């Protein structure tokens, strides 16, 4: 079964994954998905990592922790934020270094206040950082991160986190509980603020599509 989707991206996995979510318990859906991801090449696995969150299964975090690897796309961090990874675990990832450090930075950034450049489902889910640290503790952890490794990728991530620090540390309730993420994936419309977010997203996509068509007409 996993070989059948070895080369499938998140779009190709969308329908079979939705079928699993509607027919299986969270453990079954997670087992189905991780079997596929384990069979995929690292780059494709990274690009599909966000799907792990929509199993709504907290056990997905253990799989993420054990399997994150290069190339570390931002989807690992998005999945970790959607699954409610708390600050102490993120701090551990920052201190561990390697792929975990990059994922930790992406996770923090994914906790910022929902923005239009996020996917509609991420905006609706609106994850909030559990056990958020004081700003001074966050700044100290980021400084230690830069002292350990100041690659361009890490510097850019730290700058973005500092820019959005107030949103990342904002606290309050999240938009959609972790356990309800499968329902969000299957049908986002009933959730709070979903209609406006989906409508805004469709407007942006339609505008991009029109611009592309105009560009193609100009080339022809």
Tens of pLDDT, residue by residue over 30-86, are 999 999 999 999 999 999 999 999 999 999 999 999 999 999 999 999 999 999 999
Tokens (6 digits) for 169: 């540390």
User: Is-cis flag, bond preceding 71, omega within 30?
Assistant: yes
- pLDDT at residue 217 is higher than 80: no
CA distance 138 to 126: 20
- pTM score of the predicted model: 0.90
What does the buried/exposed string (b/e) look like for 12-34 if buried means 16 or more CB atoms within 10 Å of the residue's CB? Answer: ebeebbbebbeebebeebbbbbb
On whether the CB atoms of residues 33 and 182 are closer than 8 A, the answer is no
Question: Between the CA of residue 180 and those of 19, 22, 75, 141, 159, what are the distances in Å?
Answer: 16, 12, 19, 32, 32
């Amino acid at each position: 079964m996993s070989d059948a989707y070895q080369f499938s991206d998140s779009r190709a996995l969308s329908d079979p994954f939705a079928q699993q979510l509607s027919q299986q318990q969270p453990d079954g859906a997670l087992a189905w998905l991780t079997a596929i991801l384990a069979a995929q090449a690292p780059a494709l696995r990274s690009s599909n990592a966000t799907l792990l969150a929509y199993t709504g299964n907290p056990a997905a975090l253990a799989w993420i922790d054990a399997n994150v690897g290069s190339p570390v796309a931002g989807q690992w961090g998005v999945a970790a934020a959607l699954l409610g990874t708390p600050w102490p675990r993120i701090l551990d990832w920052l201190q561990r270094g390697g792929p975990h450090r990059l994922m930790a930075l992406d996770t923090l950034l994914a906790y910022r206040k929902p923005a239009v450049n996020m996917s509609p489902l991420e905006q609706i889910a609106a994850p909030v950082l559990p056990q958020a640290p004081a700003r001074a503790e966050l700044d100290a952890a980021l400084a230690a991160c830069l002292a350990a490794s100041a690659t361009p990728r890490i510097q850019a991530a730290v700058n973005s986190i500092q820019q959005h620090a107030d949103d990342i540390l904002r606290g309050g309730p999240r938009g959609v509980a972790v356990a309800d993420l499968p329902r969000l994936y299957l049908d986002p419309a009933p959730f709070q603020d979903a209609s406006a977010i989906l409508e805004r997203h469709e407007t942006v996509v339609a505008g991009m599509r029109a611009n592309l068509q105009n560009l193609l007409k100009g080339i022809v």
